[in-house]
């Protein structure tokens, strides 16, 4: 992975050191449901916060905005056994100020999968290798190819567990790079040349190892109407304008 530019819809949750999220409106952050398994009581929410606009893990530039968590909502169909419907929303205690540095990522209402140009990137502060340390700087992967869950199931490690992958999942595969431990809940992003904007097409969910050539990582698919519909109904506030 390589350092991300200083403009991003990325959010970090310090109380969840192995997870990140994406700003999807001025009031909501999308993340993985498995990240919130231990954040289900109001007491825990009150003790937590979301940081936006951060680039380096140990610095806090003027553009950084910090918000408390008003509530956290997991999709009720989420299953921890295989991470099906692994998506959740965090409602901020007050809206963020949209700027050139902090802005909501677009949702793929008009995009269909598979697409003619299936290349995507992921981002986060996760490990740079399987046994490496957490990154001190926001990292972005090189281009990965999106593949359907059924094609992904043919990969060696997933073939050993039939039925693990569902239609609400998609995979990202590359011969160079991948998400890693610490990137959960972060975005899988597709750049649309027509709109000159990034679209959130997946939420980092799970995988075995990382940065292993041709070993797919698994993402919750926002191309699936069940996932996108739930996110759209639960998400309010100022969103991306295509």
Q: Hey, which residues are catalytic here? A: 34, 86, 184
Selection from 146, 149, 145 nearest residue 168 by Cα? 149
Q: How far is CA 143 from CA 24, 63, 76, 117, 132, in A?
A: 22, 28, 32, 11, 21
Buried b (16+ CB within 10 A) or exposed e, 191-230: ebeeeebbbbbbbbbbbbebbbeebbbbbbbbbbeebbeb
Please state, in angstroms and rounded to a whole number, the distance separating the CA atoms of residues 27 and 32: 17
């Amino acid at each position: 992975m390589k350092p991300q530019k200083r403009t991003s819809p990325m959010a970090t949750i310090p109380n969840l050191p192995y997870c990140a999220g994406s700003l999807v409106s001025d009031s909501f952050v999308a993340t993985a449901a498995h990240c919130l398994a231990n954040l289900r009581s109001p007491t825990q929410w009150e003790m937590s916060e979301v940081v936006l606009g951060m680039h380096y893990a140990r610095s806090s530039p003027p553009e950084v905005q910090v918000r408390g968590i008003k509530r956290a909502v997991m999709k009720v169909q989420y299953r921890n056994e295989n991470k099906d419907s692994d998506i959740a929303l965090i409602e901020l205690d007050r809206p963020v100020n949209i700027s050139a540095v902090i802005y909501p990522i677009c949702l793929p209402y008009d995009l269909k999968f598979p697409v003619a140009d299936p290349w995507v990137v992921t981002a986060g502060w996760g490990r740079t290798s399987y046994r490496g340390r957490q990154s001190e700087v926001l990292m972005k992967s090189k281009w990965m190819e999106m593949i359907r869950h059924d094609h992904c199931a043919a990969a060696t490690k997933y073939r050993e567990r039939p039925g693990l992958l569902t239609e609400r999942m998609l995979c990202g595969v590359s011969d160079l790079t991948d998400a890693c431990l610490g990137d959960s809940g972060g975005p899988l992003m597709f750049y649309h040349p027509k709109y000159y904007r990034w679209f959130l097409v997946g939420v980092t969910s799970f995988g075995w190892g990382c940065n292993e050539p041709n070993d797919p990582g698994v993402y919750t698919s926002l191309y699936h109407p069940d996932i996108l519909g739930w996110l759209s109904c639960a998400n309010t506030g100022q969103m991306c304008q295509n």
